[in-house]
Amino acid sequence: MSEVFAVVSDKKKKEAIIQLPKQMVNEGVKTVKQSLAGSEGIVRVQAKEYMKKGQSNLIREAMMKGYVEMSHINLTICTECLHAEYEAQHTTERLVSGG
């Protein structure tokens, strides 16, 4: 996670000292090298991209967790209804065999 250590501000600019994960810094350096634009706005764009990737991972993890929880619920429902399935099968066999 990133941490903000200090923020200095004047009328036109703000300066922040932050600690970032190495991966985010490496992606930022790569973005700056590839970009022909000035450095203003690069960090903002790069931070948005980083957050979007992180958000995608969070959504994916939440979906996986939801599917696991739902599988447990489905298993419980199936277990509870198993006796009804056996009863239906027994009734069908009895009707077919005539006994």
Distance (Å, whole) CA 93 – CA 86: 11
What confidence tier does 18 reach under pLDDT thresholds 50, 70, 90? confident
| Element at 99 (helix H, strand E) | none
14 half-sphere exposure, CB direction, 13 A CA radius = 7
- Given a cut of 70, whether residue 12 has pLDDT beyond it is yes
Answer yes or no: is pLDDT of 4 > 60.
no
8 - beta bridge partners? 15
Question: Measured over all CA atoms, what is the biggest interatomic distance in the chain, rounded to whole angstroms?
Answer: 93
Range of the domain at 44: 3-97
pLDDT in tens, 19-75: 777 887 777 777 766 665 555 565 666 677 777 777 788 888 889 999 999 999 999
pLDDT value of residue 35: 65
| Total structural domains within the chain | 1
Distance (Å, whole) CA 85 – CA 78: 9
CA count, 13 A, side-chain hemisphere, 23: 6
> Quick check: pTM over 0.85?
no
